[in-house]
Amino acid sequence: MSDNDTNHDDVQVPEPVPPRSLVRLREVRGDDLQEVEEGEVPIVRVKPERIEDVCRFLKEDPDCRMELLSDLSGVDMIALDRPEPRFDVVYHLFSLASGERMTLKAAVGENEEIPTVSTVWRTANWHEREAFDMFGIRFAGHPDLRRILMPDEFDAHPLRKDFPLEGRAKDHGYWRRPEDERGRSES
């Protein structure tokens, strides 16, 4: 607290107050949460199968009203010493009414599925498509889960840690002409 300040004896530094939305979330959906990290923007780890309900609660509850899903991204946790479950899906929420922000995280494994939140916020549709494209995270109940940035026929997930930065050898020269191909195989 304020032990080191010698000239602030008469001023009490107030305890940081957790945001109202976090308080409500703990009250109503406490069982769905796994871990809460307080801070300027609370980071809440949610049980993956309950993510859609938690999001819907946060959006519709009059005290939370997290109407804006700012961003939804995947993270490959394998190199942060958490090989199982491999991916984290991170949701950044914002409430216009109260100005509160919150970050939700849900873990999902390589061949598992996590419920989609595109029924809660329509913006999640493309974000989840990108997470699928880049990491291979599957979202159950997504209306249109296909690749968005990479070509449709692409067969790997580029943002995974085991995909090389320069691309795989066979991806180089994607649109090679047949004569170049013959030249390569001859040399």
Walk across the sheet containing 87-94 and list its strands: 33-37, 43-46, 101-108, 87-94, 68-76
Question: CB of residue 96 vs other proteins: minimum separation in angstroms?
Answer: 6
Strand segments (E) across the chain: 33-37, 43-46, 68-76, 87-94, 101-108, 113-115, 138-140
Binding-site member from 69, 89, 107, 145 for other proteins (CB under 8 A): 69
- Neighbour tally for 131: CB within 10 Å: 27
Kindly report the CA angle at 76 between 83 and 124, in degrees rounded to 5? 130
Contact code string over 78-117 relative to other proteins, x by CB under 8 A: -xx---------x-x-x-x--x-x-x--------------
Asked if 149 touches other proteins (CB under 8 A), the answer is yes
Report the nearest approach of other proteins to the CB of residue 99 (Å).
Answer: 6
- Is omega for the bond preceding 85 within 30 degrees of 0, making it cis? yes
User: What residues numbered 1-40 form the site for other proteins, per CB under 8 A?
Assistant: none
Number of residues that bind other proteins (CB under 8 A): 35
Verify binding: residue 125, other proteins, rule CB under 8 A.
yes
What CA dihedral angle connects 45, 46, 52 and 55, to 10 degrees? -50
CB of 132 to other proteins, least distance (A): 13
Positions that interact with other proteins (CB under 8 A): 41, 43, 67-71, 73, 75-76, 79-80, 90, 92, 94, 96, 99, 101, 103, 121-123, 125-127, 134, 147-151, 158-159, 163, 165
